[in-house]
Amino acid sequence: MESLLIRGAEIMDPSCGRDETADILISQNKIEAVGKNLSCETAREVDAAGLIAAPGLVDLHVHLRDPGFPKKEDLFSGCRAAAAGGVTSLMCMPNTSPVTDNPETVRYILSKAETADARVYVAAAITRGLHSAELCSLKLLKEAGAVALSDDGRPVVNTALMAQAMRKAPSLGLKVMAHCEDLYLSEGGKVNEGEISAALHVPGVPAAAEDCATAREIALAAAYNVPVHICHVSTKTAVALIRDAKRRGVPVTAETAPHYFCLTQEELRKKDADYRMSPPLRTETDRLAVVAGLADGTIDIIATDHAPHTPAEKSDFLGAPNGVIGMETSLAAGITFLVGQHHFSMMKLLDLMSTAPAKLLGIPAGTLAPGAAADLVLFDPAEEWVVYKNHLHGKSRNAVFKGRKLTGRVKMTVCGGRIVYHDENYGG
């Protein structure tokens, strides 16, 4: 593998607070040096003037649909989409077919991922078949290579089983990730309950469905003094519950997705199922609360909840499955709606999308320190571009930012020292 010398980039590394214009030398799959006026006669030089070089993004909430749903996505197409968005590490969720509730499926995913364009980590299921009736063999899942546990796609309905998982996971070095939804409250709902559901005459999902489940997970974490990670936060009350829990010292962390800090339920007036996901798009008040939660540290991480579905599935507004793709647009969405609107700095955005999730999972990522794996993204923070869904790199087209102009364009992604994405309009 050839060495790379990236020249003249603005290096932004949240792991150490570095922000300076310098060079990066990559050799033998590692970052060999970071500094000014580096040289290497045998390296391929990349002119990065005007670009930001940052640690590769870490997306800890992705549905690769592999095994079982190759028409939606597969591991290789999902990782191509990741690379095009600057994502070099991702964690896939267990609602596959078969469910990732056994060591064989964990090993299948990890083996297949060895030649993909991003590093793949596995969140295995908490309960067998995602049925909330029997706890999986957590130790065997860990030994097979899983780094986290979740029934995402569904909540763990049985509180006793959730408590058991949360209490067992720390000793195994596993993170428990909670899909917070009260299925009795959300049953039959298609969009956020309120003005839009009434106007469309469709059943709604009340904010209470997320809020009640969030409160349960926080209560378990507090009662047993064990950590829990709250997935895809979308309501003002969930943000307030997490903020209060952190003030009380409860070991809770949280994530949200770009669609929750960028968009609202008003999008549903289009009757386009690409804007339906779980939890649903909420109100402007909720959106602003999510932004405030990111700004003040209540919400620790931005993840995409990338959830591909075929165009045929998404053609029926009411019958379509929930989910939206997002890895190719997540960085630009953060730049456009958070940094561009002066909610916080670019460095903080990169921390939320790279260093913080890497630390949470305990994986070797999120840094440009010499000796670290050569995983990085080069992007133009000022370039404007329109999201054309047919130009995206995954198999599915249910892109929530389709047709929108965003700011911030990935120009090159390097994973393990290998260029896995190169914008065709970037000479580099």
Which residues have a catalytic role annotated? 305
Alpha carbon distance 8, 36 (integer Å): 8
Helix (H) or strand (E) run with residue 12 in it: strand 4-13
Which residues, including other chains, have CB under 8 Å from residue 18's CB and lie 6 or more apart?
A: 11, 12, 34, 368
Nearest to 26 by CA among 376, 404, 264: 376
Contact yes or no for 387/399 (Cβ under 8 A) = yes
Strand 87-92 and strand 30-35: the pairing is unpaired
Question: Can you state the angle between helices 207-224 and 159-172, rounded to 10 degrees?
Answer: 50
Alpha carbon distance 256, 265 (integer Å): 16
Which residue shows structure tokens 């390097």?
414
Coil, helix or strand at residue 261: helix
Strand 191-192 and strand 204-205: the pairing is parallel
Contact yes or no for 133/127 (Cβ under 8 A) = yes
In angstroms, what is the C-alpha Rg of the chain?
A: 21
Joined together, the tokens standing for residue 224 give 């047993």
Q: What are the φ and ψ backbone dihedral angles of 281, each rounded to 5 degrees?
A: -60, 135
Interior angle at CA 305, CA 223 and CA 329, nearest 5: 140
Which residue shows structure tokens 């049953």?
187
